[in-house]
Amino acid sequence: MRSRWTLDDRLERILREVPFEVPDGTAAVTVRLRYDRSQGVLDLGCGSPSGFRGWSGGARDEYTVTREWATPGYLPGEIQPGVWQVWLRLHRIPPGGLDFELDITTSADVPARPADPVVPMAERPPARDIPAVGALRWWAGDFHAHTVHSDGSLTVPQLAQLARSRGLDFLAVTDHNTVSHHPELPQAEGITLLPGQEVTTDRGHANVFGDVGWVDFRQDADSWTERGLMSINHPLGGDCAWLQPIKNRPQVAEIWHSGWWDRRWGAPLAWAEAWRDDVIPIGGSDFHRDGSDGLPGAPTTWVLAEDPTLVFDAVRQGRTAISAGPDAPLLLRLGDELLALDADGLVLVRPDGRRQVIRGERVLVPAGTGMHRLETHENEVMALCA
């Protein structure tokens, strides 16, 4: 099939479905998309008679779905006969239009599955000396990372070992508009991988956490909040900034994203205060590949919980803190006190604006209500604590 999308097509309806017939007895479906990437961007996905079968956005131009395996980002399983759809989102269409070609093939045979690389166990740095709070401990993690199941470069096992080598206890894997990575997460060694998905649109991104099934990015943002714990991602993130209309504002927000490269720029804090007065801050590296965005744990979100598998419940209760990295200066709530670690010479800023210089590497100070932060003398944020 050959055709052309115009800018008028995009403005009329950004997501298009191209139907095709899958005959009875089909064991594999392969779709190939061709267009000039120097001229525009077409996002790619798949729907079957039973609904969602996968999404890869602009990261791939080809996918295969079989009974036994599927291209990362897509769901394996029974190949139902009937009308399927190639999903095409007209992400960027030039004024002169964009020619494209679709090649769709079906087969009664299952092709061989590509081999997965062998991933050795990584060494984990020693844990920091942080006191427990009763039965609760502070766990180091990251709430935003990607794999080959969307536009990342690493497999799930490779990402797990990178995060472990960075000293993290948990990592939320949040591939774009898909849940195909979820079955692999429990198999990770030496670190807890938590399920999530980054619901991705042209008007903003949000993470929905938990094994809650696929969240339909085509629906309104309020419907996403009904599915599970949700955070607004990088709300000031350039062309990914949050523009979605939403009535029920989520309490959780990714206040500290790796894109906050100059932390003297106070806009994320101002946005958080304007969003809602009881916002729960979390951080995310948005890791895709080495040299892009931040490494896992840059920033690090610390969560006070009994176990790393229970961090989502702890986030709902507001037990979070954020640091620039696993070993960076840290501010944690220990009951009615705040513990400032490795923060000698930094300035504690309380919710009411009062300031106090921290003297020493391990200092306890009285805690108030609301979000506290550590800054340098130049107002560069070094740590946050809810």
Per-residue pLDDT tens for 265-284? 999 999 999 999 999 999 99
| Residue-level pLDDT at 245 | 96
Nearest to residue 340, comparing CAs of 370, 308, 372?
A: 372
Nearest to residue 166, comparing CAs of 128, 133, 129?
A: 128
Cα separation, 36 vs 96, whole angstroms? 13
Please provide the DSSP assignment of 44-71 as one string: EEEEETTEEEEEEETS-SEEEEESS-B-
Partners of 41 in beta bridges: 92
| Residue-level pLDDT at 89 | 97
Cα separation, 236 vs 42, whole angstroms? 24
Nearest to residue 234, comparing CAs of 183, 194, 285, 186?
A: 285
For residue 116, count CB atoms less than 10 angstroms from its CB and return exposed for 0-12, middle for 13-18, buried for 19 or more.
exposed
168 contact partners, CB below 8 Å, separation of at least 6: 140, 141, 142, 191, 296, 297, 300, 326
Residue written as token pair 């740095």: 125
> Do residues 332 and 338 lie in contact, with contact meaning Cβ atoms separated by under 8 Å?
yes
Burial 274-289 (b: 16+ CB within 10 A, else e): ebeeebbbbbbbbbbe
Strands 170-176 and 137-142, sheet pairing: parallel
Tell me the whole-structure pTM to 2 decimals: 0.96
> Do residues 224 and 213 lie in contact, with contact meaning Cβ atoms separated by under 8 Å?
no
Question: Cα-flanking dihedrals φ and ψ of residue 218, to 5°?
Answer: -80, -15
Please state, rounded to an integer, the average pLDDT across all residues of the chain.
Answer: 97
| Residue-level pLDDT at 293 | 85
| Residue-level pLDDT at 34 | 98
How many other CB atoms sit within 10 Å of the CB of residue 115?
6
| Residue-level pLDDT at 80 | 97
| Residue-level pLDDT at 291 | 87
Q: Per the structure block, which two tokens stand in for 299?
A: 């920033």
Q: Per the structure block, which two tokens stand in for 18?
A: 């191209």
Cα separation, 18 vs 248, whole angstroms? 34
User: In degrees, to the nearest 5, what angle opens at C-alpha 100 toward C-alphas 40 and 4?
Assistant: 90
Cα separation, 91 vs 9, whole angstroms? 11
**pLDDT for residue 292 is more than 90:** no
Q: Which amino acid is at 150?
A: S
